[in-house]
Structure 1
């Protein structure tokens, strides 16, 4: 993964006051040396992480090609609705929605298998959760790289972060570094596509803090693993999301069936 410094304020975690900055591309550099707009594919799931990644890509000066994938997850209809709305808000250059069934057919995940229950949140667990979709990010990134190469895009953005890779092996920094090597050897000689995971060392709270600074419309995002509306509030995805907003003392703008407290002060 490659990052270059940006001329932006250094973001901090509002809950801890710690520096959460990563190197960023100069946001004023909105064209390549050849004078054409910089282009990037953003994996836009409709969730808060991917939405923040999209707004980060725009802040870095990229023209956005949004890729949304539906693979049989329980909340795929709501996620697609949110992704389309975010694409409108961002005025993307193109929105590509792909429906695949192979991840659902393969199964072994509570997100795609109706026979498996979505577990309640356990924010302290180090175990790989049942919501892990085997090798999903490799599948999604492969589609994103194909889309990027077809549209002369120089980067693919994904919103993975540190609390993801504590449970999901395909969210680790080493995975993205290795995948970028695959891209280098598996595309045309003249193709140069970087894999950008700008939040890979950040927490969910850091991402929410950055997104609030960027003006991400979190009311148009969806994270819940169980329900299309309202969000359950008790699955892992809801828990980490609610915890992030609670640590920032900001009310999450989407509706929940329950809003448990997930902060240390509870």
Structure 2
């Protein structure tokens, strides 16, 4: 696995073109996976491999509170997968823009509300468009045929850039904005599935969930009380499986009527 760990958006040196080339006789198609280090993206990466792709992992650091832990987990997942490449890109402009509790220390990360319908403070304005743009650039440069993202149905109400219509529209942008011979599909394999279904699929694929991180607040242990922790714990609790990561608190979020 080639690891480009010091890549920045303002880097003045080009990566070794040979290390990015897919002309090494490998007949498997390549797929760029947006690998955040969380359970959704990790499962998407394992899904891509299960579908016959070589995984090219793209991890972005954008000033989020738990960026160190997320990077550690993304690297661990890429290593477990024997990814063809690992590219880390720092995108500080999202933190500079602000307006999200994930990147602005002056904004508190809200406590969990799994029934919330409004957009939460953790929403990073138009983040997925930024990340997918980089992923498509990476895919076109490496002759990859797909970009995988782990967005899912329970993200819809809170995050407008996780909707199926957004990914469909972005794929049309890719078609219009890349070379005529380039064909890159945007794959959101869980866009119509719940967090619980992702956890079940990850278990089936033997995803090492102990090497993933979801907490919005803490590098370790996970707080257990932010939205990300709540949805994650709820998914495992609905499956009667213990989430293998460490939590400061483990409230019960499973619906007793399910």
Structure 1 residue 133: Cα displacement: 0.1
Unaligned ranges ≥5, structure 2: 1-24
Is 1:246 aligned to residue 245 of structure 2?
no
Write the mapping of 1:1-266 to structure 2, written as runs, cut at 5 A: 36-265=27-256
Structure 1 residue 100: Cα displacement: 1.3
SS in 2 for 1:77: helix
Unaligned ranges ≥5, structure 1: 1-33
Structure 1 residue 165: Cα displacement: 1.3
SS in 1 for 2:147: strand
SS in 1 for 2:218: coil
SS in 1 for 2:31: strand
How does the TM-score come out when normalised to structure 2? 0.89
The root-mean-square deviation of aligned C-alpha atoms, in Å, is: 1.1
How does the TM-score come out when normalised to structure 1? 0.86
Structure 1 residue 36: Cα displacement: 2.3
Q: Deviations over 1:238-260 (max 9, x none)?
A: 00000000000000000000000
SS in 2 for 1:265: coil
CA distance in 2 between partners of 1:194 and 1:38 (Å): 12
Structure 1 residue 153: Cα displacement: 0.3
Q: Which runs of 4+ in 1 moved over 6 A?
A: none
Q: Identify the residue that residue 19 of structure 1 maps to in structure 2.
A: none
CA distance in 2 between partners of 1:98 and 1:85 (Å): 17
Q: How many residues align?
A: 233
